[in-house]
């Protein structure tokens, strides 16, 4: 294996080649002493997006992820879905009914 060089594997610089994607992201999660760390690298054809465009898109994505993470920290956020019970054929309303029943029982069952 070796680098393709400045002309790329196809022998051209790609300026006339259609871009497969306007923006491409590569994400890696690394285990660190402080916990998992997500690193994302965004790349794009320079003729389609500017550095400012990519920084804006990346910044928006980071803010959206931060909002999602904050939402999941809320103990009242979310709940079970049918996919949590893959051995059963349940609809969401049935899962909600079971959760309502379980909430009433959390004070304990008489033995």
Q: Which residues of 35-60 are buried (b: 16+ CB within 10 A; e: fewer)?
A: eeeeeeeeebbeeebeeeeeeebeee
pTM, to two decimals:
0.58
Query: What DSSP designation does 17 have?
Result: S
> Mean pLDDT across the stretch 5-26?
71
What pLDDT score does 86 carry? 92
What pLDDT score does 5 carry? 55
What pLDDT score does 104 carry? 83
> pLDDT (tens digit, 9 = 90+) per residue, 18-32?
888 999 999 999 999
> pLDDT (tens digit, 9 = 90+) per residue, 40-99?
999 999 889 999 999 999 999 999 999 998 998 888 787 889 999 999 999 999 999 988
Q: Check whether 13 has a pLDDT greater than 80.
A: no
Q: What is the longest distance spanned by two Cα atoms in the chain?
A: 77
């Amino acid at each position: 294996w070796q680098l393709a060089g400045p002309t790329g594997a196809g022998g051209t610089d790609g300026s006339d080649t259609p871009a497969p994607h306007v923006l491409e992201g590569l994400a890696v999660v690394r285990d660190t002493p402080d916990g998992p760390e997500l690193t994302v690298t965004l790349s794009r054809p320079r003729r389609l997006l500017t550095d400012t465009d990519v920084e804006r898109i990346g910044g928006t994505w980071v803010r959206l992820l931060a909002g999602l993470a904050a939402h999941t920290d809320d103990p009242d956020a979310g709940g079970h879905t049918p996919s949590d019970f893959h051995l059963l054929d349940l609809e969401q309303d049935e899962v909600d009914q079971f959760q309502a029943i379980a909430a009433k029982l959390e004070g304990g069952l008489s033995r």
